[in-house]
Every structure is written in C-alpha cells, then in structure tokens.
Amino acid sequence: MTKVSPSMLSCDFSRLGEELVRVKDAGADWAHLDVMDGAFVPNITFGAPVIKAMRKCSDIVFDAHLMIQDPIRYVDDFADAGCDCITVHCEAEGDIHGAISRIRERGRIPGISVNPETPFEKVEPFLGEVDLLLVMTVHPGFGGQSFIADCVPKIAMGREWAQRNNRKLEISVDGGVNAETGRLCVEAGATVLVAGSSLFKLDDMAPEIASWKTYRPDL
C-alpha cells in the first residue's frame, strides 16, 4: 500500500497530542514533522523538546523532516526525542554524509531531501547511504503552497536509480499533495505521500487516506 504521512505543520498546534491520535486513528502510517530553523528556510517551527513531548501521546512512526543548516549538530537530540525517520537536506550546510551516518548509528532511518530547483545529480551521491528520498514539490518553508509538477521527473529518476542499484528506497513526496497530484507522484514511483493542508482541512481524513493507500496496493 502507498504510505500516507500527514504533515503536522497543518494541525492545531494547541492540541498536538490529540492531533497525533487523530491522524493515527484515521489510518495514517507516519506523522510528518517539519522542523525549520529560520536559516535554511525563512520560517521557524518546533524542535526536539516539542517532539519529545509529542512522543508521549502516540506511538505512530515519527517522520522528521529537518529543514535546518548543519543538521549533524542535532541528530542525537532528534533521535533521543523519539524520531524514527530523520531526513536532512542535500542543500544544507555542513557534513551531510556525516549526519546520515550518525542517524544510522543511532538506529534511525536516514533520509535525504531535495529542493525543487536542485537537480537529481546533487542528491544522487547520498542515495546509497539512505533508505528514504524526500522529493520536495514546493519550496520548503510553508504549508499550503501549490504543487510544482516539474519536480515529478525527479521521483522517476529516484525510482530508476533504486532499480538500477537494486536498492529498496522509500520515495516520499512533500508539498501540494492532494488526491490528484498524489496519484501522479505514485505513478512516477513515490511510495509515501506527505500532505498537510489537503488532509487537515477535512473533518474526517480517514476516507481520503484509505483512498490514497490504494494507489499502489502492491507496495
């Protein structure tokens, strides 16, 4: 089944614990946690202490997306806070290969993310070291933006790379994902759909999540 990872950026921050219960009860596979530092992206969200508190409210897989510079500085904090997947950006400053190794050493699932304007060639050198490729389909920093369809070929390049190298690689897509754009991404090879505004605007997100999961029932 296609996995669905609702982005908690669009939830009610005054009720984070209840919102985690809501997404799990609605059938979500993962909860996507957008960490922004005000430097790599022009916005600040939350960090490891908030995630540690959220961890007490749910056992759902925590899919942390670190939009931060020099992420190696904080890998231990996010691992200690209870993140299961930790994804860093290939465009971020600092030792990104080192950050990925540290995530692996801490027994967490390492991921690498790529921005819309960044070519596939820039992320390719990291793919042999990670289990997850997160393809951004908006400019990172804010929820509720429109899907950039030009990014879809990068999903297909990731899938081809995984097949050619005989690697099991989750390919996640993030930004402007809804029923229609999500289907396009899954057809191109995505295995995980991240979505904030299109899911949280619904009173009941369960039927939508159930429908997205059927895009690739064989996974």
Catalytic residue numbers, as ranges: 34, 174
Adjacency order of strands within the sheet including 170-174:
3-6, 192-195, 170-174, 132-136, 109-114, 85-89, 61-67, 30-36
Q: Cα torsion at 93, 71, 102, 116 (round to 10°)?
A: -70
Subset of residues 30 to 49 that bind Zn ion, contact rule: CB under 5 A: 34
Q: Least distance (Å) from Zn ion to the CB of residue 134? A: 7
Q: Applying CB under 6 A, does 34 fall inside the site for ligand DX5? A: yes
Among 19, 37, 131, 174, binds Zn ion (CB under 5 A): 174
Rule CB under 5 A: choose which of 22, 65, 108, 154 binds Zn ion: 65
Residue 9 interacting with ligand DX5 (CB under 6 A): yes
Asked if residue 138 binds ligand DX5 (CB under 6 A), the reply is yes
| Choice from 2, 4, 10, 135 touching ligand DX5 (CB under 6 A) | 10
Helices assigned H by DSSP within 43-119: 48-55, 75-81, 96-105
- Cβ closest to ligand DX5, residue 16 vs residue 101: 16
Q: How far apart are CA 154 and CA 182, in angstroms?
A: 14
Which one of 82-90, 98-106, 137-145, 164-172 is the stretch in contact with ligand DX5 (CB under 6 A)? Answer: 137-145
Give the phi and the psi of residue 78 in degrees, each rounded to 5: -75, -35
Rounding to the nearest 10 degrees, give the CA dihedral for residues 92, 95, 98, 99: -30
- Cα dihedral 75, 30, 12, 203 in deg (nearest 10): 170
Stretch that binds ligand DX5, among 17-25, 46-54, 99-107, 195-203 (CB under 6 A): 195-203
- Which helix (H) or strand (E) segment holds residue 33: the answer is strand 30-36
- Locate 150 and state its tokens: 């030009």
Residue 196 site contact among Zn ion, ligand DX5, none (CB < 5 to 8 Å, cut-off depends on kind)? ligand DX5
Site for ligand DX5 in 75-94 (CB under 6 A): none
Q: Distances from the Cα of 196 to the Cαs of 22, 24, 39, 129, 202, in angstroms?
A: 13, 14, 22, 28, 11
Interface positions, 127-156, toward Zn ion (CB under 5 A): none
Closer Cβ to ligand DX5, 82 or 176, answer by number: 176
Counting every residue, how long is the chain? 219
Would you count residue 177 as binding ligand DX5 (CB under 6 A)? yes
Using CB under 6 A, list all residues that contact ligand DX5: 7, 9-10, 32, 34, 65, 138, 140-141, 143-145, 174-177, 194-198
